[in-house]
Amino acid sequence: MAATADETRVVEGVKTQLFIGGEWRDATGGGTLDVEDPATGETIATVADATVDDAKSALAAADEAFKTWRHVAPRERADILRRAYDLINERTDELALLMTLEMGKPVSESKGEIAYANNFLRWYSEEAVRINGRFTTNEAGNGRVLTMRQPIGPCLFITPWNFPLAMGTRKIGPALATGCTCVVKPAKQTPLSMLALAQILEEAGLPAGVVNVITAKSSGSIMQPLIEDERVRKMSFTGSTEVGKKLIAQSAEQVLKVSMELGGNAPFLIFEDADLDAAVEGALLAKMRNGGEACTSANRFHVHESVAEAFADRLAARIGDMKVGRGTEDGVAVGPLIDEAQRSKVAELVDDAVGKGAKVLTGGERVDGAGYFYAPTVLGNVPANADLLSEEIFGPVAPITTFSSDDEAIAAANNTEYGLVSYVFTQDVDRAFRVIERLETGMIGFNQGIVSNAGAPFGGVKQSGFGREGGPEGLDEYLETKYVAMNVGVPPTKL
Ligand code: NAP
């Protein structure tokens, strides 16, 4: 399929080399890696394939830059972040097209991600000048306690393909605001958005080495030596729980401080008194945003038996109407999955549920032709032993099961090793809080199907990880606390 002039222009506008120490350079040995459009399966760009030596050079650059960046005036750091925010705003259309080409989501959703991603730069540009400590009198009154907060140091950031820009800015924004430097490794399927961000940061005046971007085919082999390098002081990873566990093990070597934003298996609870219209709207957002390829995606709908059929019919009608296609086409609501492996996994999970007795209310099959499309699907009467209730689906599939009491709903919701987000739909605020306080997740959508917000702490419990991104908590991840016991001040008065 021939690329349009706009598509060619935005892809050709991205520098595809490694960004190390403020320079764009080829990988040592000249290796490259292809980036494909998941809607067509065609190669759209070729980027550098970093070696271990390249990765070490990137870390050396981050380490060197930290010596000065940490002492740059907070206002200047803030201004650079703010300039990058303005540039991204100006270029949203191009960045959105680029994101759609490498990741597949509809352009309107790419624009939504860019706005969300960019808000982290704005929010943390505003926080950069408000990093403070504490000064108190000790308990005995004979000394003072000074608590200062300092940037932790050079960081490693590893990000997934599903939100190619936002998963980077959630880390880069607070890191830069505090005075940290970083090496960023985006997913191999979607490196272009991060490379475009590096160009924008450079244009915004970011000094050389503060942000370094390396792209690679073999993430494990280039990242492990960095994770074990004592110059690194923090790692923040967003991705699967499976890979997260490996990285936690590697980081134990030097007791590295880590943040882990891992997988999810979000329950979406609809009680008998819920506003069903609002529940359907919330469900569409929580399930179909990003084609279901989101860690926050509603993975299973637990609906009170008295309203389950009505909810299922309405949801199936809306989801069945969604236009599937290349994200660049008008009116498309659902793009392709990221690759064939992901599509096969979704197909297997649906087949398993149907084989065990689930009823297909809409969809339930691959879409023929080029690209990795899967029909938006709603499954009713899903039995408790269906694999997709316990595994992250990461696709446009909504399984519906029923419950008959609040206790049963809560037990079903918590019956998972994951704990990222839950959604609760009820009009009874007392019930909502009885339920919310017992749900084992780091975030809750209460009568709403989206929780992402740059000013709020995003993150999970249980095997969905630890650490928070967004809000003041997101800044704390990049600050070390130093306490000074001070033998100063007016001595205490004896009574
Ligand atoms: P993934 O396979 O875990 O990959 C994530 C990142 O880790 C990619 O950059 C990947 O590089 C890299 N990686 C893989 N193996 C590695 C290793 N041994 N050492 C170092 N890096 C390694 O996850 P994904 O399939 O890209 O993303 C989907 C997952 O991310 C889902 O589970 C989703 O729930 C989770 N997620 C969580 C959040 C959150 O905030 N909690 C947000 C978004 C996504 P390559 O591309 O080279 O493999």
Q: Which residues pair with 403 in a beta bridge?
A: 304
* Cβ-contact 14, 53 below 8 angstroms: no
Q: Decide if 189 contacts 35 (C-beta within 8 A).
A: yes
CA angle in degrees (0–180, nearest 5) for 64-203-93: 130
Q: Is 418 in the pocket of ligand 1 (CB under 6 A)?
A: no
| Residue found by looking up tokens 């069945």 in the block | 320
Most distant CA pair in the chain, distance: 87
Q: Cβ–Cβ contacts within 10 Å for residue 409, how many?
A: 24
**Which of the residues 202, 295, 392, 477 is marked catalytic?**
295
Residues 132 and 343: their CA atoms lie apart, in Å, by: 48
Q: What is the pLDDT of residue 75?
A: 98
Q: What's the CA-to-centroid distance between 293 and ligand 1, angstroms?
A: 12
Quick one: pLDDT at residue 312? 98
Name the helix (H) or strand (E) containing 344. Answer: helix 340-355
Q: How far is CA 445 from CA 264, 468, 488, in A?
A: 14, 17, 49
392 CB near ligand 1 (under 6 Å): yes
- Residue of the nearest CA to atom 13 in ligand 1? 219
332 token code pair: 């498309």
* Under 8 Å between Cβ of 236 and 156: yes
Atom in ligand 1 nearest the alpha carbon of residue 263: 34
**Residue 227, SS3?**
helix
> How many other CB atoms sit within 10 Å of the CB of residue 271?
22
Match domain 266-415+421-446 to its CATH number in 3.40.50.300, 3.30.70.360, 3.40.309.10, 3.40.50.1110. 3.40.309.10
Q: Give CA–CA dist 325/332, Å, rounded.
A: 6
Per DSSP, the three-state class of 206 is coil
Q: How confident is the model at residue 134, as a pLDDT? A: 97
Q: Pinpoint the residues of the chain covered by CATH 3.40.605.10.
A: 5-263+460-481
Q: Which of 36, 261, 293, 392 is catalytic?
A: 261
Residue 381 sits at φ, ψ, to 5 deg, of 50, 45
Return the number of other C-beta atoms located less than 10 Å from residue 75's C-beta. Answer: 10
By DSSP bridging, strand 18-20 and strand 23-25 are antiparallel
| Ligand 1 atom showing the smallest separation from residue 223 Cα | 20
For the chain, give every residue range classified as CATH 3.40.309.10.
266-415+421-446
* Closest atom of ligand 1 relative to the 161 alpha carbon: 26
pLDDT of residue 2: 83
Q: Where are the beta strands (DSSP E) in 288-374?
A: 298-304, 359-362
Whether 401 is in the pocket of ligand 1, judged by its Cβ within 6 Å, is no
CB atoms within 10 A of CB 448: 15
461 lines ligand 1 (CB under 6 A): no
CB 315 within 8 A of CB 363: no
Is 239 near ligand 1, meaning CB less than 6 Å away? yes
**Which homologous superfamily is 5-263+460-481 in?**
Aldehyde Dehydrogenase; Chain A, domain 1 (3.40.605.10)
Residue 1 pLDDT: 75
Place of tokens 């993150």: 459
Residue 332, pLDDT score: 98
Q: Whose CA is nearest to atom 10 of ligand 1?
A: 187
Q: How far does the centroid of ligand 1 lie from the alpha carbon of residue 158, in Å?
A: 7
The 8 Å CB, 24+ separation contacts for 255-259 are: 256/227, 256/232, 257/152, 257/233, 258/234, 258/467, 259/234, 259/235, 259/459, 259/465, 259/466, 259/467, 259/468, 259/469, 259/477
Which residues lie closer than 8 Å to 242 by C-beta, 6 or more apart?
Answer: 263
Give the nearest ligand 1 atom to 160 CA.
26
Query: Is 261 among the residues known to form the active site?
Result: yes
CA of 121 to the centre of ligand 1 (A): 22
β-bridge mates for residue 275, sequence order? none
The predicted structure's pLDDT at residue 370: 96
Contact 282, 318 (CB under 8 A): no
What lies within 8 Å, CB to CB, of 33 at 6+ separation is 46, 47, 48, 49, 188, 191, 215, 216, 217
In order along the chain (495 residues), what is the average pLDDT of each group of 10 residues?
Answer: 93 98 97 98 98 98 98 98 98 98 98 98 98 97 98 98 98 98 98 98 98 97 98 98 98 97 98 98 98 98 98 98 98 98 98 98 97 98 98 98 98 98 98 98 98 97 98 98 97 96
